[in-house]
Amino acid sequence: MEETKVTSTVENGSSSDGRPPNPLAGAFRQCIGSEHVAVVACKKSLVRHPSLMKTKKTDVSAEAGVGVEDCPSRFFPIVRSGAWTDIGFRSTMEDVYVCADNFMQDYGLENLPDGPSAFYGVFDGHGGKHAADFACYHLPKFIVEDEDFPGDIEKVVASAFLQTDVAFAEACSLDAALASGTTALAALVIGRVLVVANAGDCRAVLCRRGKAIEMSRDHKPMCCKERKRIEASGGYVSDGYLNGQLNVARALGDWHMEGMKGSDGGPLSAEPEFMTTNLTEEDEFLIIGCDGIWDVFRSQNAIDFARRRLQEHNDPVMCSKDLVEEALKRKSGDNLAVVVVCFQTQPPPSLVAPRSRVQRSFSAEGLRELQSFLDSLAS
């Protein structure tokens, strides 16, 4: 894979380099100066639909009936991350990502909590990459600048998603050429707590002792919950597309698309859905990927593939590259972006399946037949 094909906010193969660089041109930065951001950051302007509900810790599951439970362990993860992108078979690159293993320290926050404070994000743009670049740069800033952070993470991150969306609307009103949209998935590791916020069809999957735990839900218009919310907001779903135009039900941006968003809300929501869990010694790594990855990988399949690679080289950068290259071999037709976050210094251990203890017993009829056979031998 040639690196000249890659478009991202940080170079391929890199881990945390501190704050993500501002990808915006000078004129773009001027049109979203502090005086404008101060206005659009007003929380009174953030419209939330009543059907948007948080997912509690006990709701996170890999399959029906399997919950992610709180654990009293004093385990603290040791985070290591890497990422990789590829333009794939598309003519333009609209996926970007950010890795910040030392998130709070990089932004100069004091009174850091015990354990890690990390931020990771994947942004899958559509109709251009301006919205993805904008969200990648501004979303983490809105998070750390909130006075409630890190005290109420879910509330802060939800507000940051909505503030980013409204700030981009302001930028687009000053420069129509910026019109575009992006899905967004952010994962924060604060101490031993993993919080995943998702708006769109990017996906985060946690490896817990070899088992795939989905930490996000794909927001497709055909999903029952999303369709109900869309129709309650005055929209409709046609052939799997929101208002016949978008194949995602949640996204940042897209203010230029008629009937999607407005001052009183709309069918296209920028509010993220949350899944949260306490990390334990059994949690090995997290995969965050755009939909181009999940078009050709099932969640458990991606975990199995990545786990084998990490057992070989224990390098999250190489593992990210391996996932992207495998997706290309499987003919994914989209841009590709993957972030792999390891929670241990050692590679994933080999899992030995316990030998089943099968109890065997004879039926009364079988015992009688055996006794009859033994009697015949004695006679």
pTM: 0.80
CA distance 332 to 295: 7
CA distance 346 to 284: 9
Those residues with Cβ within 8 angstroms of residue 286's Cβ, 6 or more apart along the chain or in another chain: 120, 187, 194, 204, 205, 206, 207, 215, 340, 341, 343
CA distance 129 to 156: 25
For the chain, how big is the Rg over CA atoms in Å? 24
All structural domains of the chain, each given as residue ranges with its CATH number in brackets, are: 80-217+249-343 (3.60.40.10)
The pLDDT assigned to 34 comes to: 39
CA distance 247 to 245: 7
Give the pLDDT confidence of 283-317 residue by residue, as tens digits: 999 999 999 999 999 999 999 999 999 999 999 99
The pLDDT assigned to 113 comes to: 74
**Would you say 183 and 189 are in contact if contact means Cβ atoms under 8 Å apart?**
no
Give the pLDDT confidence of 104-114 residue by residue, as tens digits: 988 888 777 77
Closest CA to 206 of 216, 218, 219, 198: 216
Alpha-helix runs per DSSP H in 117-252: 130-144, 153-174, 224-232
Closest CA to 53 of 273, 301, 236: 273
Those residues with Cβ within 8 angstroms of residue 199's Cβ, 6 or more apart along the chain or in another chain: 161, 183, 184, 185, 219, 250, 251, 252, 269, 270, 271, 272, 273
In this structure, the strands spanning 252-253 and 273-278 are unpaired
Torsion angles phi and psi, residue 290, rounded to 5 = -75, 175
CA distances from 335 to 72, 88, 158, 291 (A): 40, 5, 26, 9
Residues of the chain with pLDDT under 50: 1-8, 10, 21-71
Enclosing H/E stretch for 38: helix 34-40
